[in-house]
Amino acid sequence: MAGGLPKLYPIVDAGVLTRRGLDVGRFAGELREAGVRLLQYRDKTGEPQEILRAAAAIRAEFAGVDCRMILNDRADLAALADWDGVHVGQGDLLPEDARRVVGAARWVGVSTHTEEQVRLAELSCADYVAVGPVFATGTKLDAEPVIGLEGVRRARELTTKPIVAIGGITRGNARSVVEAGADCVAVISGLLAEGEGVAKVARDFLDVLR
């Protein structure tokens, strides 16, 4: 993977933003202001046109900025939106099938929750392997069992690919996750802190991970 992964990987989650009354474009603008250079957009329930509109709004906010944009689940929409890649889960397309849709130039990431899944991801064409949840998280109602820092360490032993750690990661524990072997931390609700702007929180994460 040319250049490796930035240390911070914000996930712009449509459901989380809607529940909090936040605008996707404005949220993306705060991430740009903070210096974010890798992000994912995730919308589990939206219609294709809704997802494409949101993708266009995010791209507009990052116009002229070198930020890699990854779409969750939908390889077809990632290609249509001319985004930089797709992230697939265990119930989505296989990395190889996603690669056939998005092409060789775009990234394909894959979520894993067990050692066996990490082993299979290592053998796949995926560009990076997401592991988690590292800590308890309230973002996903059907979250897998927590793997803890030991799960991150074990994943590091099982794959040579870049590791993205996800699940319950905060400014207070992010450094420990990287020290356990993760190349990058993915954050969703950790970006939303009462009384603090998203840009400020994202900058804090970047400072902690520097």
Q: What CATH fold (topology level) applies to the domain 8-209?
A: TIM Barrel (3.20.20)
Question: For residues 38 and 92, what is the distance between their CA atoms, to the nearest angstrom?
Answer: 22
pTM over 0.85: yes
Question: Active-site residue 176, yes or no?
Answer: no
Both structure tokens of 194: 């009462």
**pLDDT at residue 139, as a whole number:** 66
DSSP 132-167: --SS--SS-TTPPPP-HHHHHHHHHHH-SS-EEEES
Catalytic residue among 7, 37, 42, 106: 42
What Å distances lie between residue 87 and 49, 169, 176, 198, CA to CA? 19, 19, 24, 23
Band of the pLDDT at 3, cuts 50, 70, 90?
low
Domain ranges of the chain: 8-209
Question: Active-site residue 140, yes or no?
Answer: yes
**pLDDT at residue 143, as a whole number:** 72
Is the per-residue pLDDT at 2 higher than 60?
no
**pLDDT at residue 103, as a whole number:** 98
Question: For residues 120 and 88, what is the distance between their CA atoms, to the nearest angstrom?
Answer: 14
Catalytic residue among 100, 140, 156, 171: 140
Mean pLDDT over each residue of the chain, to the nearest integer: 96
Task: Give φ, ψ of 164 to 5 degrees.
Answer: -105, 120
Catalytic residue among 7, 32, 111, 161: 111
pLDDT digits (tens, 9 = 90+) for 62-118: 999 999 999 999 999 999 999 999 999 999 999 999 999 999 999 999 999 999 999
pLDDT digits (tens, 9 = 90+) for 154-201: 999 999 999 999 999 999 999 999 999 999 999 999 999 999 999 999
Question: Active-site residue 42, yes or no?
Answer: yes
Local structure of residue 190 (DSSP, 8 states): G
